[in-house]
Structure 1
Amino acid sequence: MHILRFGRTIPFRGQQVDCLPRTSPAERIDVGRIVAAGLLAFGISGCSKAFQDEMRADMADLRSIQARQTASLDQLQSQFASLQGKVDELEYAVHGKTSELEQRLERFGARVPPPPGVPADLLAEDEEKIRRVSGPAADQFSEGLDLLRAGEFERARSLFQSFVDQNPDTAFSDNALFWTGVSLEKIGKYDRAVVAYSDVFKLYPAEDRVQPALLRLGEAFAKLGSTEEAKLTFQKLLDDYPRGKYASEARKQLRDLNRAGRSRR
């Protein structure tokens, strides 16, 4: 038995048989072209599939990248919104602090130290209290305080006296009467100041301006030369309010008057 070999004639059962049909040279060229075309088509088909697979992979990568970018953008937008919220909070806080500072500066500007002889602590206290009250009477009282701080004592006295006459039973009536006495003192009318201070503890014995009114009443008596009346007034303050805010000053004034009396003997 002979082995079949491509393109050669082999014996088969006593006959010579070609493994391929006999062809002309031209036919062999056409066959070669057909084979080449088939191989090319197969190669192109293989390349096309590989290209498509690669394109699919690239598209998948692009979609993955786009998804990550979208997620990153969403995260950035969320962070921006959070930052914007914090900025708004800071602006609100800064605005609030600025307004508070402006109010404090305004109050500070309004509180220029009053002239000597005007109790600054009581003046500031009443300024704070009257800010919480509204209405024509409150405006009148507040204007009187402003005039007192500015040293316009006659105008202040007129406003405070008018306030007391028109509003005898308010929480600020004893205060207005007290400031009437202070204003009268500052314009040198001590005799009338004595009347105003006396009315404070006579008309409003339970109010908070009684103690300073007694102290200033004793001082007004002393300036008028009424030493005994001054001593009695200081002693009353000590007897009624031995632990009060003005007790130490009343004690000092009383001691000074007693010493002055002994030195004249």
Structure 2
Amino acid sequence: MAAFSLGSLQAHAALFGDDEARRAILDVRTKVDAMQQSKAETSAVLDLSNQNEQLRQEIARLNGQIEVLTNELANVQQRQKDFYTDLDNRLRKLEPQNVSVDGQDALVGQSEQRSYDDALALFKSGDYKKAGAAFNDFVQRYPQSAYAPSAQYWVGNALYAQRDYRNAISAQQSLVKKYPDNPKAADAMLNIASSYMEMKDRTAAKKTLESLVAKYPNTPAAQTAKERLTNFK
């Protein structure tokens, strides 16, 4: 009996030891699972943090690109504005300008104005041959120009300066015939009279002066003609 009781106690003790061990194992497993769960959660948090950092860097990069593109757009818009301003200025320069020619307002194109000014500059420089050719070319190119009468007048003066009196007379007579009401007509007739005088044709010179006084009595050229006529008496 004593032996039986001892065996039962040993079996009970063995059973008790197994339960404790199982609980210990379960406890350890629980802790391990908790740690693994915590680790997983921590890893997820770290991954999320890394993703956030990557997103922050990507946003910063995109903001940088936006700033660069904004600056480029501003530069392009400024260049376009400058281009259209320059184009508008160029077009305005090509448009006819309102100028006063022989006391009358007229529209004159830029190329037309430049051609006339260049020819006049040649005359003033003393290059009468080139000046005459330039003014003659102007008359051919711009027959309806407000400068056409003046250009024809300077053709005659250029010929006179070259002592080509016969052609000078022809050029000035063309002006008087075509533009009789132009202010240059009286001066053209005075030039014709001067050319006749250089050719020693006093009769033609006197007749031209008298005609000048009769046709344009109130002009400075007529006053000069009157003074010259006194030399014929």
- TM class, shorter-chain normalised? 0.5 to 0.7
Helix, strand or coil at the partner of 2:183: coil
The equivalent residue for 1:138 is 113
Give 1:247 deviation, angstroms.
1.6
The equivalent residue for 1:245 is 220
Give 1:133 deviation, angstroms.
3.8
Native 8 Å contact 2:102 2:183 kept in 1 = no
Give 1:141 deviation, angstroms.
0.7
The equivalent residue for 1:236 is 211
The total of aligned residue pairs comes to 134
The equivalent residue for 2:192 is 217
Say if 1:184 and 1:129 are closer, same or farther in 2 by CA, change over 3 A.
farther
Native 8 Å contact 1:197 1:213 kept in 2 = yes
Provide structure 2 residue ranges, at least 5 long, that are not aligned to the other structure: 1-99
Measure the CA separation in 2 of the matches of 1:127 and 1:213. Answer: 14
Structure 1 residue 193 corresponds to structure 2 residue 168 = yes
Say if 1:129 and 1:143 are closer, same or farther in 2 by CA, change over 3 A.
farther
Measure the CA separation in 2 of the matches of 1:221 and 1:157. Answer: 20
Say if 1:128 and 1:153 are closer, same or farther in 2 by CA, change over 3 A.
farther
The equivalent residue for 2:124 is 149
The equivalent residue for 2:182 is 207
Q: CA RMSD in A?
A: 2.5
| Structure with greater helix percent | 2
The equivalent residue for 1:177 is 152
Measure the CA separation in 2 of the matches of 1:203 and 1:169. Answer: 12
Native 8 Å contact 2:122 2:130 kept in 1 = yes
Measure the CA separation in 2 of the matches of 1:141 and 1:255. Answer: 37
Between the two structures, name the one with larger relative contact order (CA 8 Å, sep ≥ 6): 2
Helix, strand or coil at the partner of 2:145: coil
Give 1:129 deviation, angstroms.
9.1
Give 1:137 deviation, angstroms.
2.0
Measure the CA separation in 1 of the matches of 2:102 and 2:119. Answer: 10
The equivalent residue for 2:202 is 227
Give 1:134 deviation, angstroms.
3.6
Measure the CA separation in 2 of the matches of 1:228 and 1:250. Answer: 14
Give 1:128 deviation, angstroms.
11
Say if 1:219 and 1:238 are closer, same or farther in 2 by CA, change over 3 A.
same
Give 1:228 deviation, angstroms.
1.2
Measure the CA separation in 2 of the matches of 1:129 and 1:190. Answer: 30
The equivalent residue for 1:108 is none
Measure the CA separation in 1 of the matches of 2:145 and 2:227. Answer: 33
Helix, strand or coil at the partner of 1:170: coil
What's the CA shift string for 1:52-77, capped at 9, x where partnerless? xxxxxxxxxxxxxxxxxxxxxxxxxx
Helix, strand or coil at the partner of 1:246: helix
Give 1:203 deviation, angstroms.
0.8
Measure the CA separation in 2 of the matches of 1:199 and 1:127. Answer: 18
Provide structure 1 residue ranges, at least 5 long, that are not aligned to the other structure: 1-124, 260-265
Give 1:226 deviation, angstroms.
1.6
Native 8 Å contact 1:127 1:145 kept in 2 = no
TM value normalised by structure 2: 0.53
Instruction: Detail structure 1 runs of 4+ shifted over 3 Å in the superposition.
Output: 125-130
Say if 1:233 and 1:127 are closer, same or farther in 2 by CA, change over 3 A.
closer
TM value normalised by structure 1: 0.47
Please list, as runs of the form range in 1=range in 2, the aligned pairs for 1:1-265 lying within 5 A after superposition: 133-256=108-231, 258-259=232-233
Give 1:192 deviation, angstroms.
0.6
